[in-house]
Structure 1
Amino acid sequence: MSAVREDARGAPDGARSDLRADCARCFGLCCVAPAFAASADFAIDKDAGQPCPNLGRDFRCGIHRDLRQHGFPGCTVFDCFGAGQQVAQVTFGGRDWREAPGTAEQMFDVFTVMRQLHELLWYLTEALTLEPARPIHPDLRTLLDRTERLTRHGPEEILGLDVAAHRQEVNALLLRTSELVRAGVRGRRAEHRGADLIGARLRGADLRGANLRGTYLIGADLRGADLRLADLIGADLRGADLSGANLAGSIFLTQFQVNAARGDGNTRLPAALDRPPYWTAVGPSVGRALLPISPRRRGPGARRG
């Protein structure tokens, strides 16, 4: 039932390794740029552009291994898709905001835009590994190359981008990709795009090939559910129980979504994603994520219904 093409090394999409956060090459941008409010996810209030008090002089988090115990589970959920090191090392040439404080505000604004571009790169790269989408691979490659070029622009150019328009263009191809992939599932495919399934009882549900784009699945019981080839782009999985669920063949799932959910050793994930180390201990909170990322944003161009 797999629709994923493996590369020569056996990895389904090794190219996405560049879209993983490399904190050692960043300037702690996710610890400074966003604002967050004291809540179940964050122990304190912090204004945008204000460094978190846990950020060290070396741009490392002083409580990284114990974030949840110190009241910062929201930090364990966030994923920048590698935008942090791109901004730090490429856009600003390795010069950090402490060394050049005059660049700080611009750098933080660029980071917000860059994260959106890198998220689109994640989806486009995945789409190019999906065999049923081969008829539109040339179009996907063209848009991927164009998006990569945008990430290499200077700060002023990046801040002047119409990201919303670009996202809509990408989303049109991702929608077509989804249709081609899910068409391979026999029988009726569930259509829950943008649906409110908060707390829904879906234990053991057959959701193969389901359209779950932008679906609200906060706190949903998805234990043992079959989500192979389901489109999960932008689905809100905060606090959803994925114990024993099969997401191995799902499409457009991100580490951000996985980190926000609960699972166990029997949860099957796409090869490109990591199992959160806290899954078998304590699940993440169901509070708000970092403020620049709306908890109800449902992927590129997604809409309710």
Structure 2
Amino acid sequence: MTTTPEPAHSSFPVFGTTAHLLVTDPKALRWALELLRADLAAIDAACSRFRPASELSRANAAAGTGTPVIVGPLLSEALDAAWKAAENSGGLVDPTVGAAVVGLGYDRTFASLRPEQVGTPVTAPAPGLRIVEWDPHARRLRMPAGVALDLGATAKAWAADRAAHRIAEATGCGVLVNLGGDLAAAGAPPEGGWRVAVADDHRTPQPDSPVVAVHSGGLATSGTAVRTWTRDGHRAHHIVDPRTGRNPQAYWRTVTVAARSCLEANTAATAALVLGPDASRMLRQAGLPARLAHESGEVVRIGGWPVDVPAPWVGAA
């Protein structure tokens, strides 16, 4: 009798978080890891707002000059993903929050962010995509003065989807890519699916963290427990309400959503944090399974999300 080998796993730091890669064929791990590292390095060079030489930084610097910027294929894909998220969320996930995010103090990589920021946040509502000229066919972008794009709400999820499918196609085995709580699965999963722990902080899941099985598509957890700092004596975090340019009023601590893709799951989870008490209705209308943890500790399950069951896990959302 032959036995199926356990999935192989590797991880490394990226995008200010951790990338976890799992493959069903241990012999494919080295190749899969090389593909993932190369993919993410190229995406970082194109889409990071913390790299002055990135394509996104150059595009933001050109805002207000009247000169259109022709972007490369990777940034073009990332912009299409951001536009799709904005449309699907009714503007609750909007890449034009760049100036607001900087105004809140998130003006450098999180690893180098000062825990205590001095000064009152200077923010304003996101101007919205209506004033941005984006031609995806010509890959031509033009923005008026004062507009800055931030792809932090979508690029990681899009990158997970992209990498998982590319690696599965190249290796012919099942793949799970987890980028700081944004998970994408492609190819044939292991028996019983990928066992994933859901936690406030993907870096430190607890022994009693609930576990779900992921067979395909995406799973994303958005929350306000990680990536926080203090500004003018008030706690701030990376989730921004485009309608105000500020953090949404505290309501949900974390929201986890399952969907056909990680991008779709992440968009819904982020929109839910912004909506607060109205998130349950939005998720029910979308028909997406979700787990919402209230600031009080109460847990709301929607769309057939299973009752919390702790179990052995291989990664964390």
- Determine which structure has the larger strand proportion and give its number: 2
**TM superposition score normalised by structure 1:** 0.31
**TM superposition score normalised by structure 2:** 0.30
